Structure 1
Amino acid sequence: MSTVDLEPLAVRAAAPAELPALPADAGLSWRPLTPGDVPAWYALCSVVDDHDDAIERVAEYELVDRFKGTWRDPARDSIAGFDADGNVRAYAWVDFRSVTEGTHAPTLFGAVHPEYRRRGIGQALLAWSEARGRQQLAATTVNLPARIRVYVDEHHAAARRLAEAAGFTAIRWFVVMRRDLGVALPAGDVPDGLRIEPYSKERDEDIRVTHNESFARDHWGSSPIDAEAWALNVVGGEKFRPDWSFVAVEEATGRVVGYLMSGAYDQDWEPQGFTEGWTDLVSVLREWRGRGLAGALLTAAMRAYAAGGMQYAGLDVDTDNPTGALGVYTRLGYERMQGSLLLTKEI
């Protein structure tokens, strides 16, 4: 179905006029999160991550960054339950950035302290979040396909049951992969006509354009990233490692035809038991695929990780990735580890 055939999103979203009430009998007072709540919010996330053995642990700076970005409205998009001592015991946040092509996709985040579970709080927060996501979608001006998203670690069965009971359906699976850097690295030969350079800020806009031409248009569920979101979410994060990031340049034209962006998420290292250079994004323009360029970029990154003292290289991948990325990673020596899944409501 083309976008011309879609009903207006304001109709499809079926947004409620009012958000559902949150439990009044849970010993919690409810209000939106503010920047001043970050320490208490982070304390909750740390407890929950440890209890649930989360694949990726939340860093405090990530919570600070949630209050940045002109597309965000924390006063309307967040809610938290505070106990009598001011501790955050539960929260929900609905993150949505409207796009001009692709798919509109609010993402629901939330957590409940282990001591406050099995009281209906998680169910109520999920209902609140979905309702807020529908309001966000109804307010957009570009009529596109839409879905509301929840990501769940595969081993977190209770979270999956909660989402499925609310009508969300698992539609996509992802797997974390790691590569032992103590094992001999591949040659990483660069295809003729190209050179691989270290990332530089001067190349940033070229890399973003290449991302939108390759990753955003050829990878399921992706949409173009605007300059503001790129600056905040991709290269502006505290854990971004420009010295571990690379670009592939076409020698004849100077055009960026591939890139790899890395991070050092040290909050994960102690829980997982090893240090790791993490590949956040890697992609190659369609006309340069199948020539070994992705492998060359990954090898350059692995060498940088090893030089930085890391034990492993890590990344995650959509198991149905149409570019054949899973096979590329396997041939380079990456091994499957934990998995996660995406549950959605298609709008």
Structure 2
Amino acid sequence: MAVRAAAPAELPPLPADVGLTWRPLTPDDVPAWFALCEVVDDHDDANERVAKSELIDRFKGSWHDPARDSVAGFDADGNVRAYAWSVYRQVTEGTQAPVLFGAVHPGHRRRGIGRALLAWSEARARQQLAAATVNLPARIRVYLDESHAEARRLAEAAGFTPIRWYVVMRRDLAVALPSGDVPDGLRLVPYSKERDEDIRVTHNESFARDHWGSSPIDAEAWSIDVVGGEKFRPDWSFVAVEEATGRVVGYLLSGAYDQDWGPQGFTEGWTDLVSVRREWRGRGVAGALLTAAMRAYAGGGMQYAGLDVDTDNPSGALGTYTRLGYERQQGSVLLTKEI
């Protein structure tokens, strides 16, 4: 991996002539960092808006090293005008895959800052991969809204290639919901913390191994990134349990991303993750889970149910969502450098 990553010994310099002072982000910078993200999301009409709690969570977890993995440009008044962060959690199976985040204030664009930050974060990602202790397939990832043509041109000019497309799907909860019949031999139960480890294992044995680009999630990352976030809604989350064995065979985890509701003009319950073990697929389990979630969203006063899906998902998820009344909305694209 160290050879394949071709990591530089030093990170490339950042622009010295743009009126910004460069240093790593710290927890104390979250308010100024969040202010930048709000401006950028509004200006770019982002598909999903960043919540302050998500930025706070970036400083949690043993795999995060903000002092080495992040950098931000501060103006003379202490405002964050640009940042980059290469997020990487080493895995022991699947794909080693840092993901690059970054933004430049609209008033500071077209000055070479975005290009320099992308080069910096890619170099840092290569250093992260070079330190991996398990030699696996690897890629450096950048996710972009399809509507962000300027950002895509920047990434493609740097050698990133579009490789996967995703689409947001939305279901009007005012329209009659499907029956959501539960298959024989199963029962649906509300999410509970007591089942959390069983759900994580099910995720790793179903979703992570069967879905392109996914890797298993360890207990620490699961507790922070999946069920520990401020937006996670356990009361909108459900588990499919095999009656004969008590085994978890499917699950659906939901969130309430209220930072999106104002800009998009409606409230929405969001399905973060849904998956069913391979031997139970094609028997209506996903439909039952999704219907239970839609009823919970509607009961919570939500106007729509939302989720996103890989358009090449081999499990037939796109067809399942369409049959349940979900309709395609905006899309996003994954660009990568394969290592």
Q: What SS does the corresponding residue of 2:32 show, helix, strand or coil?
A: helix
State the 1:299 CA deviation: 0.1
State the 1:121 CA deviation: 0.1
Distance in 2, matches of 1:189 and 1:20, equals 57
Picking from 263, 274, 287, the partner of 2:279 is 287
1:116 aligns with 2:111: no
Picking from 147, 165, 169, the partner of 1:177 is 169
Picking from 69, 73, 84, the partner of 2:76 is 84
Unmatched segments (≥5 aa) in structure 2: none
Distance in 2, matches of 1:323 and 1:334, equals 17
1:15 aligns with 2:12: no
1:319 aligns with 2:311: yes
- Find the counterpart in structure 1 of residue 321 from structure 2: 329
1:267 aligns with 2:259: yes
State the 1:155 CA deviation: 0.3
Distance in 2, matches of 1:330 and 1:161, equals 32
TM superposition score normalised by structure 2 = 1.00
Q: What SS does the corresponding residue of 1:11 show, helix, strand or coil?
A: helix
1:71 aligns with 2:63: yes
State the 1:93 CA deviation: 0.5
Picking from 137, 141, 156, the partner of 1:149 is 141
Q: What SS does the corresponding residue of 1:81 show, helix, strand or coil?
A: strand
Q: What SS does the corresponding residue of 2:140 show, helix, strand or coil?
A: strand
Q: What SS does the corresponding residue of 2:174 show, helix, strand or coil?
A: coil
Distance in 2, matches of 1:301 and 1:239, equals 15
Unmatched segments (≥5 aa) in structure 1: 1-8
State the 1:50 CA deviation: 0.1
Corresponding letter in the other structure for 2:330:
Q
Q: What SS does the corresponding residue of 2:321 show, helix, strand or coil?
A: helix
1:298 aligns with 2:280: no
1:196 aligns with 2:177: no
Distance in 2, matches of 1:132 and 1:324, equals 36
TM superposition score normalised by structure 1 = 0.98
Distance in 2, matches of 1:100 and 1:190, equals 35
User: Where do 4+ consecutive residues of structure 1 move more than 4 Å?
Assistant: none
State the 1:170 CA deviation: 0.1
State the 1:179 CA deviation: 0.1
State the 1:110 CA deviation: 0.1
Identity of aligned residues (%): 86
- Find the counterpart in structure 2 of residue 4 from structure 1: none
State the 1:24 CA deviation: 0.2
Picking from 228, 231, 235, the partner of 2:223 is 231
Q: Deviations over 1:177-217 (max 9, x none)?
A: 00000000000000000000000000000000000000000
Distance in 2, matches of 1:11 and 1:155, equals 36
State the 1:261 CA deviation: 0.1
- Find the counterpart in structure 1 of residue 25 from structure 2: 33
Distance in 2, matches of 1:62 and 1:241, equals 15
Corresponding letter in the other structure for 1:47:
V
Corresponding letter in the other structure for 1:156:
H
State the 1:295 CA deviation: 0.3
After the TM superposition, which residues 242-261 of structure 1 pair with which residues of structure 2 at under 5 Å, given as runs? 242-261=234-253
State the 1:315 CA deviation: 0.1
Distance in 2, matches of 1:26 and 1:259, equals 49
Distance in 2, matches of 1:270 and 1:338, equals 17
Q: What SS does the corresponding residue of 1:67 show, helix, strand or coil?
A: coil
Corresponding letter in the other structure for 1:257:
V
State the 1:13 CA deviation: 0.0
1:277 aligns with 2:256: no
Question: How many correspondences in the alignment?
Answer: 339
Please tell me the root mean square deviation across aligned C-alpha atoms, in Å: 0.2
State the 1:51 CA deviation: 0.1
Distance in 2, matches of 1:86 and 1:304, equals 43
Q: Deviations over 1:265-323 (max 9, x none)?
A: 00000000100000000000000000000000000000000000000000000000010
